[in-house]
């Protein structure tokens, strides 16, 4: 689901003024879209935005705590399994 964005500039793009800004904006939009897809993949589309934000803020606090690396490892493992399963079902 989350895919690293690689952008190759052609010589015409490199010559256009503002192309770096457009590229950055596109990457930002793409990242926001990917994060929205993760909310859907987690089955949270029916939740209120305030609930989802509260969950994310609590998760951020855990990542910033002394046990942050353990939480990161645990959640990475769980997320990796879910994304792998979703890719195999697609």
Is residue 69 in some structural domain? yes
Confidence of residue 4 (pLDDT cuts 50, 70, 90): very low
Range of the domain at 51: 15-89
Which long-range contacts link 47-56 to residues 24+ away (Cβ below 8 Å)? none
Is residue 28 in some structural domain? yes
Is residue 71 in some structural domain? yes
Is residue 5 in some structural domain? no
**Model confidence at 15: pLDDT above 80:** no
**Model confidence at 9: pLDDT above 80:** no
**Model confidence at 84: pLDDT above 70:** yes
Is residue 4 in some structural domain? no
Domains: count for the chain? 1
| CB within 8 Å of 30: residues ≥ 6 apart | 5
Instruction: At 68, list the tokens.
Output: 């942050």
Residue among 74, 53, 54 at smallest CA distance from 63: 74
State pTM to two decimals.
Answer: 0.68
pLDDT digits (tens, 9 = 90+) for 20-67: 888 999 999 999 999 999 999 999 999 999 999 999 999 999 999 999
CB 1 within 8 A of CB 86: yes
Is residue 79 in some structural domain? yes
* CA angle (27 as vertex; 61, 63 as ends), nearest 5: 10
Confidence of residue 18 (pLDDT cuts 50, 70, 90): low
Is residue 46 in some structural domain? yes
Which 8-state DSSP code applies to residue 44? -
């Amino acid at each position: 689901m989350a895919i690293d964005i690689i952008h190759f500039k052609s010589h015409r793009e490199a010559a256009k003024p503002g192309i770096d800004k457009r590229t950055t904006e596109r990457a930002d939009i793409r990242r926001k879209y990917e994060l929205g897809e993760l909310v859907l993949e987690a089955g949270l589309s029916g939740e209120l935005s305030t609930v989802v934000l509260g969950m994310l803020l609590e998760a951020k606090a855990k990542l910033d705590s002394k046990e942050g690396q353990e939480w990161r490892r645990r959640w990475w493992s769980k997320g990796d399994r879910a994304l792998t399963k979703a890719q195999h079902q697609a």
